[in-house]
Structures are given as structure tokens and as C-alpha cells.
Structure 1
Amino acid sequence: MIRLVSIPVLFAVISSCSPKKETQENFHLKSPDNMVLIPAGTFYMGGKSEQAAFDEFPRHKVSVSRFHMDITEVTNRAFKEFTDQTGYITVAERNISWEDLKQQLPVGTPEPADSLLRAGSLVFTMTEGPVDPRDYSQWWRWTVGASWRNPEGPGSTIIQRMDHPVVHIAFEDAQTYCKWAGKRLPTEAEWEWASMGGLDDPVYPWGNEPAEKSSKKANFWQGFFPFKNSLLDGYLTTAPVKSYPPNKYGLFDMAGNVWEWCADKYHFRAYLEDKKKGVVENPKGPKESLDPDEPKIPKYVIRGGSFLCNDDYCSGYRVSRRMKSSMDSGFPHTGFRCVKDYN
């Protein structure tokens, strides 16, 4: 596959409706271990606050069938069991092919140093003071040797973080794990419906209380991003899963901790196309990906925000917030959880 390695960062370094869901009487059904059954329902998907981005509109009506969902993000312990059994090597642990990479770049882009094409990933680095929030290269550093096993690069370890979510996970890695586990990634609609937890059109998985008053409800950045974190939630980076209260469906970390891959390709006009269809049943996302900022790079949706999100930079912990990432990119704040069809 073509590995894109978050190209811009690397080369900078060189109407509202109450949701309808199944009644509780029909919902006493057993789920697989460490999963919960999410009821079927119909809801309005999309932006619902002044923080909503353009690609969260228009709101449109969606119906999803019941499904099982992991109660937590996949942990280092679970991912290690997978790699121990299969010998799988993640994308971040493979060297980068310049012949593949340059196909996605403007003609004439110079070949980077060999050191930048060695296996590695992007690592977050806190800045010394305020910076332009549009310049991602200020806080991302390409780090050879960074991977899920060594989240901050050589010398770091997950030994004391086995119950933390696995990170530096590319789309291929998540898909491969899901297949091994007999599961799949959630669709974007399933993810948003599950994150709402049965509440009446909430802004956040915990309800409508502003994030600034909710530091004990999720792992996100308190203070001034990216140079000062007041640590009101107790963690600078990832937190062990189940460190904060679950939503009403029993799902932990649907806001913050790490971004979670979804099965849908990202298209900035996906909601506009769905709006034209009326009620969309079990949407699978667009057939093609298009991010106008990087039109040559196929991307998939990630959801839920991370420990780096705050209102001044990225309110990713909102239930409707959409983000996107190239399918071969892994970051120290990107992981996943699985779902399973109800049979």
C-alpha cells in the first residue's frame, strides 16, 4: 500500500429531533465479552452547536440497526495478544517507500533524507509558548522508531501502559485487528449514535455540560494548547481505559483519550449527499474520499477526539465532530474500537 505519513506535517519539518431508539423491553440481549449491545434507532446526524464545522452539515436523518460495540478502546494488552499470535507488523514499524510516496506529492518535490523514510511515526511535542494553531508542524515531530510499542520513540515503552489504548495505529492496522477478532470497525453513523448514549440529542457523550466544566468526565487538554496543560483530568497523554465514567450505554472514552477509526471514507460533502436521500438506513459512507485541503490523499473518518483536544484548538469530544486522516497515518493520539453485527 502507499504510505502517506501525514505529508503536510512531514514536509513542513523538511433542525433538531429527539432520537428514537428501541424500547428497553426489547433490549435485554446478551453481548459478547467486553461489548455492549447498542439498540437500533433513528436520529439526526450532524452539527448541533456553534462549534460545529462545515462538514458536520447539513443535519440529516439516519437509521441504524442494533449492533455490539467494544466498551473500551482496544488496549495495548489486547493488541499485543494479536501481534504475538499473528506476527503482524504495523504500518509505523515498516520503512517508507519513496517511489510510492512521491506519487501523492506535487511533481518536483525533492526526495527527503533517508532518515525521514525509516520506520517511525509522528510524536507530539509541547511548544514553549503560543503558536499559530494552523501550523501543525509546531507540535508534531517525525520520530524514527516511534510505534505502538514505543509511543514517544526509542526509549519509551508500554510496559506500564498495558491498560491504555493502543496508539500509532493506521487504518490498515485497525482493520487487520478487527478481522482477527471477528469484528469490524464501526460506521461513522454507528459511532455517533453510540456516543450519544441514548440521551436526547446531546452535544457531548456525557450530556450538554460545557467541556470547561467536565474535566472529570473525559481525557482532553485543559489549559492553553499546545504549550500549557493544567492536567485537571489527571493525564498529560493517554489514560487507562475506564478512567472516566461511561456514557449511558456503558461505553468508556467516547470523548477524548484517543481518536477512533471508523469504516467510512471521508468526503467533505458526504452529509449533503445523504440529506438528499431522506432517511438513510445504515449508511456506509461515500464511495470516494475527498478532502479539499489535500485532494490527492484518500482519507478515512476518525471520531471522538483525544487527549490533545480543547475548545481553542479542536473540540473533538463533541458527538458530531468529524476528523479525517490518511489511511496509512498513525499518531500518538489515534487508536480504535471494534463493533460486531447483531445476529
Structure 2
Amino acid sequence: MKSCCSVSRGSIENEVQVDTIENKLSSFSKKDMVLIQGGEFMMGTNDTEGFPADGEGPIRKVKINSFYIDKYAVTNEQFMQFVKETNYITEAEQFGWSFVFHLFCSKETLKNNPQRVAAVPWWVAVKGAFWKHPEGPGSSIEDLLNHPVIHISWNDAKAFCKWSGKRLPSEAEWEYAARGGLEQKKYPWGDELIVNGKHQCNIWQGEFPIKNTKRDGYIGTCPVDAFHPNGYGLYNVAGNVWEWCEDWFSPDYHKSESIENPTGPTKGTNKSLRGGSYLCHKSYCNRYRVAARSSNTPDSSTGNMGFRCVADI
């Protein structure tokens, strides 16, 4: 995948064995969740701006059962509470490092962390970077409690879901909810990226990956309730952070899969991601479109990957 937004932990060798951690279940709360009524929708896109190799198309009719979904991505404050109650240690902490975008690294950090991925050199493997210290040692989330938690692997997201009594959405559920009741529109709000001169989401402006003009107001993550919600009341389903889904990723499995509550293949190497992030830019990775897809290995973490939860009725 040609993507500014997806880089895998396997790109850099690491011999750490990630242990399975048991987590406490708490009661399921509907606070800040939206009930999505089941129905049919046209999933995917044949848009020429899309990436056929990602499996965005063809457009197909899909049926979805009713479910609840979080209005917002999981925040630093929520994840902090989870860690406080469970003593959970994320995979970024266990491995001892995570990927940080180069513009967020000081000269000293860059000097002390020389490892890069050749294909995407703007990602720096920073020792000591994890959700609580998103740019490495010395950084803090003190002023970012209402921002989405980042440096979260798929396995970490699953642990949080287990604790909260929720689960991760299927790709089909995610797209159904993200479309907000609109049919085959490019974005959750319509077909125009900027509406009446106003930015609708947190993505990159300027020259990627060198200069972000911050015209939408943000250079990194934004608060989870920033910008306007879609028609179902969901915030930031385009841009801000990539959101993990339950499905194993496949570029073609959906072409033969059932149209009723599809859940993807039964096995794979990468898990699906949806929604794009603050690093997406039309010149390189316009995956902030609602039908766009990406993926990563379940143990990978970066400074632009988070998640939101769903729950069964």
C-alpha cells in the first residue's frame, strides 16, 4: 500500500514476545453511544480517486443489523481510566518503542532514534514512545485528555473493548455508520472536501511530509468532538486518527463474501483500518474518503492510529 499513514512494527526487527494479558470486564455503558438502526447500504466505491488495489470496490449492497457505536474515538482520558483499573501495559510499552511522525521529534530525539523505514522515512521508531508519552520521553498528554488515544495496537484496542464490555466494529458496520445516512458520497458530509470555506475534518494541508500549514487548525490530533458530526452524530470518522476494525484485511475477499453482516476473512496477517488521519493528503494518501481502507499488523502502533467501539443491541 502506498500510504503515508500505515507503517508496520515488522518493518523493524524486534525480538520482544508480547504476552497475553487478562483484563477485567466492566458493565457496558451506552453513554456517548449512538444507536444505528439496521438496514441496507451501498458499500465501497468505484471512484477514480480511489485505490483499486486496496479493495475499495466494487460497489455492493450490504445488509447490517442494528448496533451501538461510540460518537467519538476513545480518548486519552478513557484509556487512562482503563489502565488505572487494569494495570494494562500496551504493546508499544512492551516493545519499548513506537512510530512517531518526524516533525514531532526534537533534534535530540532524531539523533537518539536513527531507525527509519526506507519506504516511509517520515516515521521514526522512537524509544519510549507510547500512549502516555506520544512523542517519546518528556512528552505528555496532560493537555490532550480529550484527544484520541494513539500508539494503540489492534491487540490493545481489543483489550480495552473487553474491559468496557464492547467490541471493535466490522468494516461494514464502520462504513455504514460513517456514511451517516448518505448514499455513495465521498465524505461523511457530502462530496466537497471544504464546505463554504470551512474545513470539515483534520487532515494535512501544505506539502507532505515537509510542511503542514495547519489551515484546519491542527498539526497533530484534534479533540474527539472537533468539527461537525455526520448525520448519525458521529465525530471525526474522516481524518484525525485511523480506527481499528475487527476484520482481517483482504483486497478481494468481499467480492465473494455474504452481503449480510460481512465480517471479512477468517484469517490473515493485517487487520483493517478505516477513516484516514491527520497525515492524509490528496497528493499522496487521500484515504480520508469514507470508502477508503488501510491495514496494519495487529501488534503495530503509530502516532496516528486509534479506535472507537461498538456494542450489540
User: What SS class does the counterpart of residue 81 from structure 1 fall into?
Assistant: helix
Instruction: Please identify the structure whose Cα radius of gyration is greater.
Output: 1
Change (3 A) 1:269 1:211: farther
Aligned to 1:304: 275
Q: Using the alignment, how far apart are the partners of 2:216 and 2:193 within structure 1?
A: 15
Question: Does the 8 A contact of 1:215 with 1:222 survive in 2?
Answer: no
1:73-84 to structure 2, matched below 5 A, reads: 73-84=73-84
Letter in 2 for 1:87: N
Q: Partner letter of residue 45 of structure 1?
A: M
1:166 to 149, 163, 176: 149
Match of 2:265 among 276, 286, 294: 286
For 2:298, the equivalent position in structure 1 comes to: 327
CA-CA distance at 1:287 after TM superposition: 1.3
Could you say which residue in structure 1 is the equivalent of 2:41? 43
SS at match of 1:178: helix
| TM-aligned CA deviation for residue 215 of structure 1 | 5.6
Question: Counterpart in 1 of 2:16?
Answer: none
- How big is each residue's C-alpha offset from its partner over 1:272-311, in whole Å with a ceiling of 9 and x where there is no partner? 222xx5xx1111111122xxxxxxxx10000000000011
CA contact (8 A) 1:60 1:271 kept: no
Alignment of 1:48-197 (within 5 A): 48-54=46-52, 55-95=55-95, 119-126=96-103, 136-197=119-180
Over residues 189-237 of structure 1, what are the superposed CA-to-partner deviations in whole Å (9 max), with x where a residue is unaligned? Answer: 0000001001122110111113598762110001111011111111100
Q: Structure 1 CA distance, aligned partners of 2:270 and 2:285?
A: 19
Residue identity opposite 1:313 in structure 2:
Y
Q: What residue identity is the alignment partner of 1:167?
A: I
What TM-score, normalized by structure 2, do the two folds share?
Answer: 0.85
Deviation, structure 1 residue 48 = 3.8
User: Residue 256 of structure 2 aligns to a residue in which SS?
Assistant: helix
Give the Cα separation in 2 of the matches to 1:222 and 1:201.
Answer: 25
Distance 1:157 1:67, change over 3 A: same
1:316 aligns with one of 284, 287, 299: 287
Unaligned runs of 5+ in 2: 1-6, 14-28, 105-116
> Could you report, residue by residue, the CA deviation over 1:73-111 in whole angstroms, capped at 9, with x for unpaired residues?
00000000000000000000003xxxxxxxxxxxxxxxx
Helix, strand or coil for the counterpart of 1:138? strand
Moved >6 Å (runs of 4+): none
CA contact (8 A) 2:41 2:183 kept: no
Cα distance between partner residues in 1 of 2:197 and 2:275: 15
What SS does the corresponding residue of 2:296 show, helix, strand or coil?
strand
How many pairs are equivalent? 278
Does residue 1:341 correspond to 2:312, yes or no? yes
Amino acid at match of 2:149: V
Contact 1:267 1:288 survives alignment (8 Å): no
Q: Residue type matched to 1:42 in 2?
A: E
TM-score under structure 1 length normalisation = 0.77
- Change in Cα spacing, 1:226 to 1:213, as seen in structure 2 (3 Å) is farther
Identity over the aligned pairs, expressed in percent?
Answer: 44
C-alpha change, 1:257 and 1:215, in structure 2 (3 Å) is farther
Aligned counterpart in structure 1 of residue 224 of structure 2, from 213, 229, 241: 241
Amino acid at match of 2:242: W
Deviations 1:178-198 (A, max 9, x none): 110010000000000001001
Partner amino acid, structure 1, of 2:9: S
Q: Is the 8 A contact 1:70 1:338 kept in 2?
A: yes
> Pick from 253, 266, 271: which aligns with 2:254?
271
Using a 3 Å threshold, how does the CA distance of structure 1 residues 92 and 260 change in structure 2: closer, same or farther? same
Give the whole-Å Cα distance in 2 for the aligned partners of 1:213 and 1:53. Answer: 28
